[in-house]
Structure 1
């Protein structure tokens, strides 16, 4: 058995080698980047070693590796930030400095607070007047809606596919009103019937990857005296010049002051709310946000801002996979949106379960969404692409989907989104 000192020295040696390979995103050309990711991640991944046995409903590669399409960290930020932290720690130990500095969070009301520093940098990044961090376990959308409801009971209009948790459903009670997914006319009619209130949408929808018509939504809510709340959870890190989301990308930050986001795309368990300065004291939680989470978030924000090439690579890989799937004959209602997420709307729960289980047996992991999280008979499989997926992995996924068609395991010509002008989510 190795002694502790030898184990430590091995760790330091590995750390120095890792630093030379630059796990933090390098500034390379697109072609070089593709080679780096394909080579770097293949070191630790057992790829499909054979064609799945579709006759027996069992993928031969299932025991070696699961190709996961459920990641909420599309740019692999968490790994890069963790590697940066590890290098910092190991460098300190290697240089004989075992006294590691640890910052204190004096609370959100202190000028020297780490939380205030993160909130200030987030505001600059998101081009918002102010930003408030929400602690682990506290949903930012619930926090914001609750504060509005405490002041005055208002109707809450929410897109049929927007993320809805039990807290909001319980607190708003009879005031919660759904409108058809991404339909301006449907929202207009609901507001005319029930009066002004809060309108909750997602800039990029996590179940289907569809993108909200933000400009039209913004114009309508202003004309009808409503407050628009945009959930940017699936847009941060991926969209905009510095990964600041769709609102910033479309230069709508002055017209949409209220944005919320959970931050898995930044490798964090925290959440954030953008707001007016006058709202800060009302929205802040009495408990401090965790120091370790704040430290990592500072690293993650700078990391995301500086690596536009990773966003470009994610877009190119997403388009590559979607184009291949469309060419095979799968319905393209959701595949045509330029996002890293898409949904295959299968319709029937039993068929969704059957296809999901089959894909897992072939080493492909997706996420199921069934009624009531989606409208009845509109059950779907959600796919989230991560930048670390190699071309080989994507091609293997395409091969499995093609075999599903050939063997008629999947019959997409009967799915709800296969028909002309389908009314998918109402």
Structure 2
């Protein structure tokens, strides 16, 4: 039977040669990255995890992806509704599950209203596209998520970068270029550093700027009942827009924009991703609604994430690793070049620890790293194993030669922001 399937399938397989300008670009990738940089291997393709592997690559910080209450709600929805009505959400009105969940999540975040999107990427690109224009400067932290940069490009706006977590540099850029839109992450996905949000909000208020904060990596893990870092810092009335991917702590597949009621209507009929994408499926919305109930109720998950992350940050720092100001559940081991990162990846994976490889364009060139995403159900033994392994491999991975290690001699001062440590990354 297998041979018969392959025989018939082969009748329909064909490859149309690419024009020279595309073929040259593809060939350059294989030549410069696969052959010259990765020596014929692939930086993203290391060992296959065994059954006893320790996975630190998932964004399921609260360890709820297999929560029985959530899975049961999704199962029942599939049985009752199937895939529902497949159409753009702009056609929805009245009382329906998607609009009801938008209201509930907005209320949870202390916002007047909100918009449910297909992904965090769609939320960010659609938002920037709908508020910026070619005449609008958009001030972007140099480590802001790529979706925010893509939104700027989509809007045809002018991107003006500022030094990571440096509110003073942001203010100088605004004074030079005029009022515009400021975009930051609350917790940065690459290295786990936390934005000095109070300082940034002060600068925006002083200069009449719109403030957009991506809370993808703080919604669910920070704030009262997981309502986010903006709520925790009392900034809900000073931030114009909050976005989030619900594929992190919410362990689902969607994005969200917290906004005013007036803007919600405008966005749905102005943003291209909102207009030209189909709505989420019924079981996805039901699952997210059940997830919010779990997040609100099971406080111990946030507590454990914070405790586990602090233990690892403290322990790895003592071993000599420069964690680049991480203050969250995201911990980055920055080896530098992609070649060194492959060595680090192999050293960790050979000992059963699997993190996420980050390299250009997710990082700056020669600032590649392995990201460890900490979750709520890591045991004491597993945490000890991570520390033990990271201690054992220091000589093998030549930790002392990493650029990030050498930068520790110029470690910036630490200051406080509403009870949280905040590191100024000014260079």
Q: The TM-score by the shorter chain falls in which range?
A: 0.7 to 0.9
Give 2:6's aligned residue: none
Give 1:276's aligned residue: 260
Using a 3 Å threshold, how does the CA distance of structure 1 residues 412 and 243 change in structure 2: closer, same or farther? farther
Give 2:14's aligned residue: none
Q: 2:343 aligns with which of 354, 362, 375?
A: 354
Using a 3 Å threshold, how does the CA distance of structure 1 residues 63 and 102 change in structure 2: closer, same or farther? closer
- In structure 1, C-alpha distance between the alignment counterparts of 2:127 and 2:53, rounded to whole Å: 38
Q: Does 1:163 pair with 2:145? A: yes
2:74·2:287 contact (CA, 8 Å) conserved in 1? no
- In structure 2, C-alpha distance between the alignment counterparts of 1:89 and 1:349, rounded to whole Å: 40
Give 1:251's aligned residue: 234
1:334·1:342 contact (CA, 8 Å) conserved in 2? no
1:159·1:181 contact (CA, 8 Å) conserved in 2? yes
Q: Does 1:149 pair with 2:139? A: no
Q: 1:420 aligns with which of 403, 407, 410?
A: 410
Cα deviation, 1:146-187, whole Å, max 9, x if unaligned, reads 11135x631111111111137325324560121110001111
1:368·1:380 contact (CA, 8 Å) conserved in 2? yes
Alignment TM-score, normalising by the size of structure 2:
0.76
Shift of 1:74: 0.2
Give 1:225's aligned residue: 208
Shift of 1:308: 1.3
- In structure 2, C-alpha distance between the alignment counterparts of 1:148 and 1:60, rounded to whole Å: 44
2:78·2:283 contact (CA, 8 Å) conserved in 1? no
Q: Does 1:410 pair with 2:398? A: yes
Give 1:400's aligned residue: 389
Deviates more, 1:291-300 or 1:377-386: 377-386
Using a 3 Å threshold, how does the CA distance of structure 1 residues 362 and 189 change in structure 2: closer, same or farther? same
Shift of 1:200: 0.7
Cα deviation, 1:379-398, whole Å, max 9, x if unaligned, reads 32221101121111111111
Cα deviation, 1:46-86, whole Å, max 9, x if unaligned, reads xxxxxxxxxxxxx9996443211111110022211xx2255
Shift of 1:289: 3.0
- In structure 2, C-alpha distance between the alignment counterparts of 1:231 and 1:60, rounded to whole Å: 33
1:379-398 to 2 correspondence within 5 Å? 379-398=368-387
Cα deviation, 1:310-364, whole Å, max 9, x if unaligned, reads 11111111111222212222235424x2x11121222223212221222122221
Alignment TM-score, normalising by the size of structure 1:
0.76
- In structure 1, C-alpha distance between the alignment counterparts of 2:228 and 2:74, rounded to whole Å: 32
Q: Does 1:300 pair with 2:284? A: no
Give 2:313's aligned residue: 322
Give 2:69's aligned residue: 84
Structure 2: gaps (5+ residues)? 1-45, 269-273, 413-423
1:378·1:424 contact (CA, 8 Å) conserved in 2? no
- In structure 1, C-alpha distance between the alignment counterparts of 2:361 and 2:47, rounded to whole Å: 34
- In structure 2, C-alpha distance between the alignment counterparts of 1:365 and 1:169, rounded to whole Å: 34
Shift of 1:193: 1.5
Shift of 1:110: 2.2
1:366·1:381 contact (CA, 8 Å) conserved in 2? yes
Shift of 1:242: 0.9
Q: Does 1:188 pair with 2:178? A: no
- In structure 2, C-alpha distance between the alignment counterparts of 1:352 and 1:173, rounded to whole Å: 35
- In structure 1, C-alpha distance between the alignment counterparts of 2:183 and 2:254, rounded to whole Å: 20
SS at match of 2:132: helix
- In structure 2, C-alpha distance between the alignment counterparts of 1:137 and 1:199, rounded to whole Å: 18
Cα deviation, 1:296-317, whole Å, max 9, x if unaligned, reads 1110111101111111111111
Deviates more, 1:185-194 or 1:63-72: 63-72
Structure 1: gaps (5+ residues)? 1-58, 93-97
Using a 3 Å threshold, how does the CA distance of structure 1 residues 271 and 293 change in structure 2: closer, same or farther? same
1:65-84 to 2 correspondence within 5 Å? 65-80=52-67, 83-84=68-69
Deviates more, 1:141-150 or 1:163-172: 163-172
Give 1:205's aligned residue: 188
What is the root-mean-square deviation in Å for CA atoms of aligned residues?
A: 2.9
Q: 1:110 aligns with which of 82, 93, 111?
A: 93
Deviates more, 1:153-162 or 1:414-423: 414-423
Using a 3 Å threshold, how does the CA distance of structure 1 residues 391 and 188 change in structure 2: closer, same or farther? same
Q: Does 1:122 pair with 2:84? A: no
Give 1:263's aligned residue: 246
Using a 3 Å threshold, how does the CA distance of structure 1 residues 174 and 357 change in structure 2: closer, same or farther? farther
Query: May I ask how many residue pairs the two structures share in their alignment?
Result: 356
